C-alpha cells in the first residue's frame, strides 16, 4: 500500500509541471531574498514568502449552473493566503514528507529558516503549511478513524491533488469516492491520475464550487473537509460556504471529517450555530503508531462528527 501510494505521489509530482515551475520560481525568489536557516516545522501557519512565490491567480467562482467562471483578481485584492503574516512555505504533505524536505534542505534547494535582517546571522524559522493530508494521516483516517466503508459514498470537498480519493480507493472499500474542486488545474491533474491508474470505476472528480453541488452533500455517507475554505476564500465566502454545509449536510448518521474542528472554524468566523443540535463529535484515539514518521500533533487536528 505504502509503495502504491508513493507511486501515486511520485506520478503526481512528475505530471505536475505547473507545480514544478511554481516550486522553482519560489526557490529562485527565495534565493534572491537571501534566505538561510535551521530546522523547525509547523503546520497551518502564516505566510509572507507566498507574496513573492505565487503568481497572480485568477479567482474562480461558479455560476448558478455549477460551471466555474474565471475572473482576474483585482490588483489591490489579496487572497487569504497572501494576507498571512509570517514567512510560510506551502507544501503538500502528500507529496513531500519531512524526510523529503530535509533532503531538499541538505541539498541547499530549500531552507527551513529565513533571514530576518539581510546579511546577518539573525534568522527565524519559516512556517510550513500543508495543503493536503500526508500519507500517514490518510492511513490513520481510513484504517483507524473511519468504519468499514463497504457500499458507502465518500465526498472530499476541495479534493486538490486527489490524495483523499486515491487513499480511499486503496485503503477502503468505499463504493464511490467523489471529489469537488474549484480549481481547474487540480481537476485536470486528478483526472490524469484517475485515468492512468484506472480508478474511474470508483472515483469521480467534479470541477465546481461545492455550493453548486448540494446533491453530492445530500448523498454522501462520509464528507471530508480538510482546511477547505480557510486559505482559499475570504471571510464572507467562508461563512457562506459553512452555512451551506450546515443546511445541506443533514443525512442522519453521515460522518464528517474536519481539520480543524468545526468549533474552531465557526469561532473564527463568528458563526452562531449550535453545533450540538447538528452533529456529535466522535472521540478519536490518536495514540497509534503508524510508522517512524508518526506525528500525533497532526493527528490531533483531525476531527470526526456524526450528523444527528
In the complex, the residues that contact ligand SAM under the rule CB under 6 A are: 94, 131-133, 156, 158-160, 163-164, 180-183, 186, 209-210, 226-229, 232-233, 241
Nearer to ligand SAM, 216 or 279 (CB): 216
- What would the DSSP string read from start to end of 277-296? GTEEEEP-------STT--H
DSSP classification of residue 141: I
Q: Considering the complex, what minimum distance in angstroms separates the CB of residue 265 from ligand SAM? A: 13
CA-closest candidate to residue 107, choices 119, 118, 97, 99: 99
CB of 148 to ligand SAM, least distance (A): 21
Q: Which of 54, 48, 53, 57 is nearest to 32 (CA)?
A: 53
Q: How far apart are CA 124 and CA 85, in angstroms?
A: 14
CB nearer to ligand SAM: give 115 or 225.
Answer: 225
Whether the CB-CB separation of 127 and 46 falls below 8 Å is answered with yes
CB of 116 to ligand SAM, least distance (A): 28
Looking at the Cβ atoms of 163 and 256, the one nearer to ligand SAM is 163
The candidate with the shortest Cα–Cα distance to 157, out of 180, 132, 191, 178, is 180
Residue closer to ligand SAM by CB (options 136, 241) is 241
Q: In angstroms, what is the minimal distance from the CB of 208 to ligand SAM?
A: 7
* Radius of gyration of the chain measured on its C-alpha atoms: 19
Task: Name the minimum Å distance from CB 28 to ligand SAM.
Answer: 24
Nearest residue to the partner ligand SAM, using Cβ: 158
Q: Which is nearer to ligand SAM, 38 or 218 (CB)?
A: 218
Amino acid at each position: 500500500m505504502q509503495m502504491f501510494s508513493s507511486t501515486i505521489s511520485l506520478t503526481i509530482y512528475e505530471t505536475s509541471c505547473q507545480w514544478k515551475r511554481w516550486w522553482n520560481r519560489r526557490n529562485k525568489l527565495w534565493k534572491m531574498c537571501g534566505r538561510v536557516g535551521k530546522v523547525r516545522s509547523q503546520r497551518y501557519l502564516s505566510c509572507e514568502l507566498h507574496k513573492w512565490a505565487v503568481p497572480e491567480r485568477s479567482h474562480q467562482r461558479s455560476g448558478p449552473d455549477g460551471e466555474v467562471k474565471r475572473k482576474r483578481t483585482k490588483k489591490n485584492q489579496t487572497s487569504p493566503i497572501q494576507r498571512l503574516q509570517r514567512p510560510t512555505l506551502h507544501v503538500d504533505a502528500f507529496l513531500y514528507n519531512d524526510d523529503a524536505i530535509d533532503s531538499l534542505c541538505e541539498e541547499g534547494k530549500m531552507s527551513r529558516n529565513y533571514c530576518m535582517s539581510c546579511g546577518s546571522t539573525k534568522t527565524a524559522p519559516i512556517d510550513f503549511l500543508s495543503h493536503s493530508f500526508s500519507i500517514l494521516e490518510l492511513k490513520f483516517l481510513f484504517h483507524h478513524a473511519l468504519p468499514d466503508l463497504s457500499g458507502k459514498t465518500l465526498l472530499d470537498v476541495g479534493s486538490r491533488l486527489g490524495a483523499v480519493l486515491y487513499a480511499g480507493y486503496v485503503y477502503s472499500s468505499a463504493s464511490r469516492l467523489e471529489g469537488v474542486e474549484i480549481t481547474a488545474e487540480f481537476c485536470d491533474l486528478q483526472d490524469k491520475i484517475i485515468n492512468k491508474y484506472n480508478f474511474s470505476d470508483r472515483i469521480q472528480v467534479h470541477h465546481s464550487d461545492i455550493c453548486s453541488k448540494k446533491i453530492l452533500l445530500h448523498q454522501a455517507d462520509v464528507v471530508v473537509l480538510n482546511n477547505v475554505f480557510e486559505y482559499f476564500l475570504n471571510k464572507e465566502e467562508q461563512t457562506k460556504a459553512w452555512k451551506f454545509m450546515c443546511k445541506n449536510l443533514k443525512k442522519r448518521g453521515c460522518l464528517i471529517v474536519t481539520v480543524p474542528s468545526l468549533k474552531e472554524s465557526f469561532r473564527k468566523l463568528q458563526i452562531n450555530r449550535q453545533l450540538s443540535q447538528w452533529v456529535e463529535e466522535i472521540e478519536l484515539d490518536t495514540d497509534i503508531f503508524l510508522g517512524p514518521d508518526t506525528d500525533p500533533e497532526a493527528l490531533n487536528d483531525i476531527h470526526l462528527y456524526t450528523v444527528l
